[in-house]
Amino acid sequence: MDEKTRTAAGIAAGLQGLKYDDGRLAELAAEVDVLNDAVRKAAAERLTFDDDPAAFASLLEREARK
């Protein structure tokens, strides 16, 4: 079991109270790795302290055709 799969096993058993076999944990670790990596990189390139998730709805209103 590699480090990321061990981490997934720890989250499943220790934090979420969920049971998965080792094979499924490896699949989930790989899937989450890709997603986390993409979001982490996009966030590092774009986000600032003041970015508020709720601002999205306001932006839609503001960007409508005048």
- Which residues of the chain form contacts with another protein (CB under 8 A)? 8, 11-12, 16-18, 20, 24, 28-29, 31-32, 34-36, 38-43, 46-47, 51-53, 55-57, 59-61, 63-65
**Nearest to 29, CA basis, from 1, 57, 58:** 1
DSSP letter for 55, please: H
CA-CA distance, 23 to 8, in Å (whole number)? 11
Provide φ and ψ at 14, rounded to 5°: -85, -35
CB of 28 to another protein, least distance (A): 6
CB of 3 to another protein, least distance (A): 14
CB of 22 to another protein, least distance (A): 15
